Amino acid sequence: MLKPLVLIIIFILLLIWLISLSYFFKEKLSNMIGMVVSMTLGMITGLSIGTFSAIFFPNFFFEMTVLSMLVGGIIGVVTGFPHSLIAIIDGLLSGVMGGMMGTMLGVMISPEHYNQILNIMSLWTVGIFFLIYLLLIYEINMVTNKKSLTLHPLPYFTLVCSFILGFHYFTIEFNDRTNHHANHVYNQEVIVAANEYQFGPDQVQVSPGEEVTLTLVNNGIEQHDFEIKGLDFHLHAMPGTSESKSIVFPKSGSYEVICTIQGHESAGMTATIIVTEL
């Protein structure tokens, strides 16, 4: 939870830095520059917020579209405000447009490409921020002799790099989490081996309401079976063979499994299936 928060703060900082520059040095900036900056910041902010929010909150597509259009438009207006009416209008339109396109891009991407698109978008967003920053300080330095750290590219560049790096590690974690989840929910295949006289593994976790395919592989020299107590589920395998069957566990709980061959249960051929929301 900490990492996304830090990234959001860096993003806001990068944006505020640019907007402040265009405010404080509005006398030094031409109308044209004001227009370009407000259009670009509105568009880029709307686009990136739209894409990210559509990927992270896919169930709120409508809300996220409105939100990113709103944020993009506001950023465009705020940035264009010190310059001219035309900068305000251009900023507003670009921001709204960017927000709309961003969420569409976000839902168009299939989950296996989330990682790529997130990294491309983060690089693109802060890369454009940096270009705008260079444009601004170039214009400002042309007409002023004031030298300060806010007008040197290095601090801003450092912040841009830390955002890209932080975002890269964040998407790795995000991807691990979604893949991990997907494996459990959509691909519940459980293979249990049997020999004299045990099951391996002897404890299995599955989630309720999903189809689970259970396979009993007999690696032993005697016949074995796999019966879930309380459910009508029975697998049987002769030595060197296997048997599979699918089952849906209706609710969470713990199920006992035994081998019903004479004497095997008491010799230790038991297992437990834990049905729980993974």
Residues in touch with Cu ion (CB under 5 A): 224, 259, 261, 264, 269
Residue among 153 and 201 whose Cβ is closer to Cu ion: 201
Provide CB contacts within 8 A for 126, sequence distance 6+: 11, 14, 160, 163, 164
State the nearest-atom distance from the C-beta of 266 to Cu ion, in Å: 11
Residue among 207 and 215 whose Cβ is closer to Cu ion: 215
Residue among 141 and 270 whose Cβ is closer to Cu ion: 270
Pairing of strands 211-218, 242-248: antiparallel
State the nearest-atom distance from the C-beta of 213 to Cu ion, in Å: 21
Residue among 237 and 247 whose Cβ is closer to Cu ion: 237
Residue among 116 and 266 whose Cβ is closer to Cu ion: 266
Provide CB contacts within 8 A for 234, sequence distance 6+: 225, 226, 227, 228, 260
State the nearest-atom distance from the C-beta of 263 to Cu ion, in Å: 9
State the nearest-atom distance from the C-beta of 193 to Cu ion, in Å: 12
How far is residue 269's CA from residue 278's CA, in Å, rounded to a whole number? 26
State the nearest-atom distance from the C-beta of 273 to Cu ion, in Å: 17
Nearest 10 degrees: Cα torsion 126, 132, 133, 135 = 150
230 Ramachandran zone, left/alpha/beta (phi>0; psi -120 to 50): left
How far is residue 45's CA from residue 109's CA, in Å, rounded to a whole number? 19
Residue nearest to Cu ion (CB): 259
